[in-house]
Homo-oligomer: A and B are copies of this chain.
Amino acid sequence: ISGFALKVRMFVKKAWDVGTNDPRKVIHCIKVGLALAIVSLFYFMRPLYDGVGGNAMWAVMTVVVVFEPTVGATLYKCFNRVLGTFLAGFLAVGVHWVASQSGERVEPFVVGASVFLLASAATFSRLIPSVKSRFDYGALIFILTFSFVAVSGYRVDKLFELAHHRISTIIIGSSLCILVIMLVCPIWSGQELHSLIVRNMDKLADSLDGCVTQYFNQSGEGTNSKEEATDNKLQGYKCVLSSKASEESMANFGRWEPSHGQFNFRHPWKQYLKIGASMRSCAYCIEALNSCIKSENQAAKLIKQHLGSGCLKVSSSSSNVIRELAETVKTMKKKSSTTDLLAEEMKSAVQGLQNDLKTIPHLLNPSAIPGNKTLETACSEATTPTVTLMELVPVVTLASILTEISGRIEALV
């Protein structure tokens, strides 16, 4: 029993953490409750209830299934739900008319066959990528409403009224959702995407910086708690590695959002995905760099010292470029002259490192250093700067893409 109590305590603690880490989640929950309570009024107030009868339930259902944490996702679902219901409602009334003309014995077969065909077709359309990204939910609702109205037609007399009620209650529910989600502490998925990208860029810069610094100060001192903090920073690039799916869905929902804050209609959401992709390729390089650093082949101290300052310069200047780019994205300005300056600095740092590399052979004079062992370590050492070099390729790409996006934003804002 104490084991169970412990589990419950752990669970409550976890839940509490979820709430305290992101108070907006709690606000979201309260919003759901609020929207549902408002929509329940339909049941409690007689004049409203008389209008649509028992079908008022559809408004409640709509609120439950349509309400999502972000504005974009809710708008997407509302739009799809209304559109799907409209289309399916008209089609179903048409099919019912055809079926009722064809005599009572054939009617079930006509209805059944049409349900079979249309449900299969709509399910198939959900599997086509371009439809899936925009109308997945709409197709589901289409099947739902179509089978509901078409099949009901066999037993219900006032079919047109049923379809009409279903459409109007769904519109009522959807508009209530849109009102609540946009007026009470809205969470815009475009805004989320924007800050996710900026945050990830900062993390990337931190871990690139930290990773190289830690390597060259490895033997160094430093309290334990401080080390843990840097370790956390170092792991930052892992977030970048795994953020692809969330970026895509946010960009997808961002497309549905109206103008808000600094964002316009037709905001270049795809540019964010491009930046995300370049960041991921940077992060892959950092991952490789990291495994180099952790590998067992340790470099000779001599060479470490020789290359140390050059490597540090490259890493710090390139992380500065990333930070500056993050700032640029954050403020949505055009690429400033500072960025150019920093990029120049980065290039010269790379040049300096290459010069350092060229002077290695003098240190490596085989006669001066005992055995061949040192060269192997030299190579494993050389890996660090070379990978850093590699690492610059995506950074340059990032810079050029950013020039593009900032130009576009300039054109829009």
Contacts and interface: CB of A to CB of B under 8 A. Distances in A.
A125 B128 CA distance: 33
Interface residues of A, number: 89
A355 to B, nearest CB: 10
Contacts of A230: none
Contacts of A32: 119-120, 123, 143
Interface stretch (A18-26, A187-195, A198-206, A218-226): A18-26
B375 A361 contact: yes
A40 B147 contact: yes
A186 B155 CA distance: 34
Given A127-B25, A288-B284, A393-B295, A43 B152 contact: yes
Interface string A140-157: 100110011001101110
Contact of A124 (B26, B36, B125, B284): B26
A18 B116 CA distance: 20
A40 B113 CA distance: 10
Contact of A387 (B123, B288, B357, B358): B288
A210 to B, nearest CB: 18
A309 interface: no
A130 interface: yes
A390 B119 CA distance: 52
A217 interface: no
Contacts of A14: 128-130
A234 interface: no
A98 interface: no
A396 interface: no
Interface string A400-413: 00000000000000
A237 B267 CA distance: 32
A36 B119 contact: yes
B366 A361 contact: yes
B376 A359 contact: no
A46 to B, nearest CB: 10
Interface in A34-91: 34, 36-37, 40, 43-44, 49, 54, 57, 60-61, 64-65
A389 interface: yes
* Interface-centre pick from A37, A115, A130, A154 (highest chain B CB count, 10 A): A37
A2 to B, nearest CB: 21
Contacts of A123: 28-29, 32-33
A341 interface: no
A291 to B, nearest CB: 5
Contacts of A382: 379, 382-383
Nearest to A289: B288
Contacts of A284: 241, 284, 287-288
Interface centre among A242, A287, A373, A390 (most CB of B within 10 A): A390
Interface of A: 11, 14-15, 18-19, 25-26, 28-30, 32-34, 36-37, 40, 43-44, 49, 54, 57, 60-61, 64-65, 108, 111-113, 115-117, 119-121, 123-125, 127-130, 140, 143-144, 147-148, 151-152, 154-156, 241-242, 244-245, 281, 284-285, 287-288, 291-292, 295, 297, 354, 357-362, 364-366, 372-373, 375-376, 378-380, 382-383, 386-387, 389-390, 393
20 contacts: A11-B130, A15-B128, A29-B127, A32-B120, A33-B117, A33-B119, A34-B116, A37-B112, A40-B108, A40-B147, A43-B154, A49-B155, A54-B152, A57-B152, A65-B144, A281-B287, A357-B375, A358-B375, A361-B366, A361-B375
The 4 closest A-B pairs by CB, nearest first: A288-B288, A379-B382, A33-B120, A33-B116
